[in-house]
Amino acid sequence: MKLAVSAVRPLETADPVRAVLEARERGLPIALGTSGTTDRPRFIVREPESWWASFAAYSELTGVGSGASVWIPGPLSATMNLFAAVHAAAVGARITTEPDEATHACMTPAQLERLGGDLKPDVLVCVAGARLEQRSAAANVVHYYGAAELSFVAAGNHGDDLQPFDGVEVDLRDGEIWVRSPYVCLGYDAAAGPLRTDPDGWATVGDRGRWSGTTLRVLGRPGAITTAGATVVLAEVEARLASVARGPVVVFGVPHDVLGEVLAAAVVDPADLATLREFARDHLPSSHRPRHWQVVDELPLMAGGKVDRARLARG
């Protein structure tokens, strides 16, 4: 879904937050680079009002309001971080670069694992950018699932506690998550991307999920490998392993001379190695069992704070 529009590009300015605020004042759309982009940036175009429409619900979820002090350790090139910074400016909160000054924080699950100890115990942390496992949940942690194109989709305390976000309709079509809300972007600036829409105003980026009652479980975008003729969705295997792991676990594909590709898994807690190997042997078909396992001191992160699977695959 490509657009040929003239839009403000906040990340090409000295002050991206101010650029978004001014674009809204001038009635101009904004073009935002996706956090996972590398050599060929893809820009998502949205009306600033599609962010402002969610501010009240986001304030209710996070508690960020006038007088709050928000720590955002990731770069503003990640849409979730720029949104949090713009929201803070709009509601009269302050951005701080010092974690010990923060009353609130915006982080990915990997950053929470690595940097959460720098925060005072009463800081309320909003986690997004990847699935937050239940073991990482706490009374002062909230979590939401969304996408740069869709903005907010569902929220709760962790990845097994997600309810549709205020103002969002969610539908599963053959396991694919479709949403209808005032928060969806307009499309892309010049380049194409995963966003698809239908005539009734529904949109998807291809993420997969399933319902458990009224709770939405997000399995992630269907990154997959083909091994010995079988197609294996990485997110599904990772979700199964994460359900029994004590620490973070990441699943990825690596080349294989005979089978084409095989699964590999990285864990941070060494105690998970034996547990997950046994679980995979007993509960997963052979095509879905990681052939290679590694223990890492910490998960490598991309600039936006998400796990760098390509780096893990390179060893």
Domain edges within the chain? 2-211, 224-313
Domain 2-211 superfamily per CATH: ANL, N-terminal domain (3.40.50.12780)
- pLDDT tens-digit readout, 155-209: 999 999 999 999 999 999 999 999 999 999 999 987 778 899 999 999 999 998 9
pLDDT at 39: 44
Question: CATH for 224-313, among 1.10.540.10, 3.30.450.20, 3.30.300.30, 3.40.50.720?
Answer: 3.30.300.30
Mean pLDDT of 27-39: 72
The pLDDT of residue 50 is above 90: yes
Q: What is the pLDDT of residue 37?
A: 36
- Alpha carbons 36 and 130: distance in angstroms, whole number: 12
* Helix 272-283 / helix 234-242 crossing angle, nearest 10 deg: 120
Q: Sheet containing 69-71: which strands, arranged edge to edge?
A: 94-96, 69-71, 104-107, 124-127, 141-147, 151-156, 163-164
Q: How far apart are CA 298 and CA 14, in angstroms?
A: 32
> Which has more pLDDT, 229 or 302?
302
For residue 40, what pLDDT band results from cuts at 50, 70 and 90? Answer: low
Predicted local distance difference test score (pLDDT) of residue 133: 84
Confidence (pTM): 0.80
Residue 35: band (very low, low, confident or very high) from pLDDT cuts 50, 70, 90: very low
Domains 2-211 and 224-313 alike in fold: no
Tell me what pLDDT residue 41 has.
64
